[in-house]
Amino acid sequence: MLMVDAGNTRVKWAIAQEGAAAGDWLAHGAVVHAELDSLAAAWAGHAVTRAIVSNVAGAAMRDKLAALLPVALPEWFGAQAELAGLRNRYRNPAQLGADRFAAALGARALVPGKALVVATCGTATTVDGVTAGGDFVGGMILPGLGLMLSSLARGTAQLPETSAAATLPPSFADNTLDAIRSGCIAAQAGAIERAFAALPAELCIVSGGAAGHVAPALSLPCRMLDNIVLVGLHAAALAPTSS
């Protein structure tokens, strides 16, 4: 069984035996969009009979993936009103992004019975709430850390372009590059902490490419989990009601 998470920057994938627990994979990997064609070779050594795909990268990406997938009829994952014990309380359940619903499914599969904030820090940062009883209550979307950093350079005459550093900058930085980093990371962490208090949550699940920069800035119980969308796709594939 193949799970594919096509995001705005990278395409992540995992392969599991039929019936394996969510997150228990034989192989997994990720490529940027420019390396998409390499996926066929990565998947060729596995006898894939089923594929479930979350795609938020548009119609062109869907067409490219359809040509590469090793099965003729992949399952294109989308948000539902209820799946695997998770009830979608979005006003229009089908409008919820496939990746956000899958991330919530994955978080609940790994940490059942707890009120969770699920923060996925990628090109965009999404911060969603899941109650202990299994209600996806909605959330917020904001520019991701990389977009925040680059937008300051594009939109101002005096501020330089920078990227997140390995070391968390001080709250009151004494140089411009660290001040930019500090402000953008604080904005990410502040949104997550605001959601955590509003739910209120017991644990925050942090995933995505910028998770390693954002999680250290959080002053709340958190757990970093790679590939939470893939875990959710796996949980969806195991659910009796999934197609």
If you ran DSSP here, which 8-state letter would residue 9 be given? S
Q: Quote the CA–CA distance of 189 and 204 in Å, as a whole number.
A: 11
Q: Are strands 75-76 and 51-55 parallel, antiparallel or unpaired?
A: parallel
Verify cis geometry, omega within 30 degrees of 0, for the bond prior to 240: no
User: H-helix or E-strand containing 211?
Assistant: helix 211-214
State the residue for tokens 């904030």: 117
Percent helix, strand and coil across the chain, each rounded to 5?
A: 35, 25, 40
- Phi (first) and psi of residue 136, to 5 degrees: -80, 110
Clarify whether 99 is annotated catalytic.
yes
| CA distances to 116, 159, 203, 222 from 215, in Å | 15, 25, 12, 7
The binding site for ATP comprises: 5-12, 123
| Binding-site positions | 5-12, 90, 97-100, 123, 176
Residues comprising the chain, all counted: 243
CA distances from 153 to 125, 148, 156, 171 (A): 19, 9, 6, 20
Q: Which of 63, 99, 128, 174 is catalytic?
A: 99
Distance CA(200)–CA(114), nearest Å, equals: 11
For residue 224, the surrounding DSSP H or E stretch is strand 222-224
Please identify every residue annotated as catalytic: 99
